[in-house]
Homo-oligomer: A and B are copies of this chain.
Amino acid sequence: MQARPFKVYKKSPDGSLSVPFKRIMLDELDPQGNQVSIDLYDTTGEGDNGHAGLVRLREPWIDSRNDTEVASSSFGLPEPSEKPKVAKNGAKPTQYQYALSGTLTNEMRFVAIREGVDPKVVIDEVASGRAIIPANINHPETEPMIIGKKFLVKVNANIGNSSVSQDIEAEVAKMKMAVDFGADTVMDLSTGRSIKETRAAILRNSPVPVGTVPIYEALHRVGGDPTKLNWDVFKETIVDQAEAGVDYMTIHAGLLLAFIPMTVSRVTGIVSRGGSIMASWCLAHHRENFLYENFEELCEIAGSYDVSLSLGDGLRPGSIADANDEAQFAELRTLGELVKIARRSGVQVMVEGPGHVPIHLIQRNVELEEQWCDNAPFYTLGPLTTDIAPGYDHITSAIGAAMIASYGTAMLCYVTPKEHLGLPNAQDVKAGMVAYKIAAHAADLSKGHKGAIEWDLALSRARFDFRWEDQFRLSIDPETARSYHDETLPAPAAKKAHFCSMCGPKFCSMSLSRTLREKSDAALAEQLDNKSAEFIELGAEIYITSPPVQRN
């Protein structure tokens, strides 16, 4: 039998689309004698993502819509070597605009199959702005995915270097580690000297949407001095990034000059990098945030490439003490205004959220975001539910992430164990991804997602049947599950044993419970009397099992 998961494809009714899933074959036969399997959502993409060989799935779809053309000097920039696309004059090639006009795109059809829902749900949610499909026309390698409350909770993995640590290959390896563990998007947050090259390497190898925070590159372009920033430099930066294929951009346009004094009494001030850059600019010039003032023009640019906007929360709390304060909520209200402007421009938009929030204040964040931001998808960083565990913030924040997602947050930005301490390496990326896939999945279960429920059911049935190999295959990290089991019982025979070293053979409740089950029948309730004697006979056999020989 097939031991490793493999890709299968679900076809659209007309056969034109093939949507990949990861199929896991189980050591189990259905009543018809066929081997049981389960198909899981898969983010790993098509083609060789080792080096610039990803399938450009969306290219023919984009071309066939005939509303884009080769970008020229529309924004006064030199053309890159590979000709990027831009909207034809007057066109608005965004998934939001298509949905509004009733056009069911291939991206929407693909997403519907991926999520196991009717395409009508997809187009309705996108048209209402409750969901977005980040899909820049210059990133044809993206397999379409949807971010919205009615769909599976998504996880973003932040990667990218800093000036202290720069290595493009390492960042691509982190991206691959992230998508192997189910990252739905990646954000390249590089701030080092090779921002552009790092981003290009990630984009051309990423089967998932790529996000950025363009203010980092803009700051780089003005020599690292935030007071030298201006709208023209920022505009050039986002056009460049849009033409390179960035699918969504974090824009800190809601941090207004008037809100900055609200942060003075905070314990941890402004903890968003973008937020602190914009606050510096505002104070230095004593002028309103230029991203706020030029937001309509910014939307024009975003709409020309179908760059989705992620409205950054530059004033998010950086400590439990600062959660849900005046500064945070003043900005959130402003983000609500910006959502309306983005939608008027036909631009897909989501809203970013905190951060550090104690358990009892989490739900309020979702309620206010939905109310003030007209149900735009919420995209939160954790939140961390305590500040006292540096080195374990993937756990402090997985708690908050699972909760906030169960209340309706659409995408979670992961936090790695290195948060607050250093730049994550590939192992940290894995640890962060696993914690966040757990959080997202726990929230999916709480929302009654059918596919999520089936996955848990398959694993628990394997557990009760002592199908150890199936437990490993179905687990979120098969290698780790297997290695933990094998630490004490490495013998191949132990993979069929009706116990593990946790309880040993005499005290395995599952084993005993299974025996009860096998020896009972549907009428157990009525027949307890008759069963009594039979059970005593069988009891000896169940319990007097020798302990297994230990091989090392």
Cβ-defined contact, A423 with B268, below 8 A: no
| CB 8 Å contact bits of A376-407 with B (1 = contact, 0 = none) | 00000000011111111011101100110010
Of A49-57, A75-83, A113-121, A536-544, the one touching chain B: A536-544
Cβ-defined contact, A321 with B524, below 8 A: no
How far apart are the CA atoms of A402 and B438 in the complex, in Å? 15
Q: Which residue of B lies closest to A220 (CB)?
A: B506
A164-B388 contact, Cβ under 8 Å, with A398-B395, A442-B399, A460-B318: no
Q: How many copies of the polypeptide does the oligomer hold?
A: 2
Least Cβ distance of A498 to chain B in Å?
Answer: 12
Picked from B318, B475, B512, B547, the residue with its CB within 8 Å of the CB of A388 is B475
Least Cβ distance of A459 to chain B in Å?
Answer: 5
A47 within 8 A of B: no
Restricting to A522-552, which residues have a CB under 8 Å from any CB of B? 522, 524-525, 528-529, 531-532, 535-536, 539-540, 543-544, 547-548, 550
Picked from B358, B418, B435, the residue with its CB within 8 Å of the CB of A484 is B418
Least Cβ distance of A26 to chain B in Å?
Answer: 14
Picked from B226, B356, B475, the residue with its CB within 8 Å of the CB of A391 is B475
Cβ-defined contact, B456 with A319, below 8 A: yes
A419 within 8 A of B: yes
Least Cβ distance of A525 to chain B in Å?
Answer: 4
How far apart are the CA atoms of A369 and B356 in the complex, in Å? 31
Cβ-defined contact, B460 with A267, below 8 A: yes
Chain B residues whose C-beta falls within 8 Å of the C-beta of A285 in the assembled complex: 532
Chain B residues whose C-beta falls within 8 Å of the C-beta of A37 in the assembled complex: none
Of A12-20, A122-130, A274-282, A344-352, the one touching chain B: A274-282
Cβ-defined contact, A420 with B162, below 8 A: no
Least Cβ distance of A503 to chain B in Å?
Answer: 6
Of A134-142, A230-238, A485-493, the one touching chain B: A485-493
Chain B residues whose C-beta falls within 8 Å of the C-beta of A358 in the assembled complex: 442, 445-446
Of the candidates A192, A389, A421, A510, the one having the most CB atoms from chain B within 10 angstroms of its own CB is A421
Cβ-defined contact, B264 with A392, below 8 A: no
Cβ-defined contact, A488 with B423, below 8 A: yes
Cβ-defined contact, B434 with A487, below 8 A: no
Picked from B392, B442, B506, B525, the residue with its CB within 8 Å of the CB of A261 is B525
A44 within 8 A of B: no
Cβ-defined contact, A276 with B509, below 8 A: yes
A227 within 8 A of B: yes
Of A96-104, A143-151, A513-521, the one touching chain B: A513-521
How far apart are the CA atoms of A520 and B455 in the complex, in Å? 54
How far apart are the CA atoms of A358 and B457 in the complex, in Å? 12
Cβ-defined contact, B461 with A226, below 8 A: no
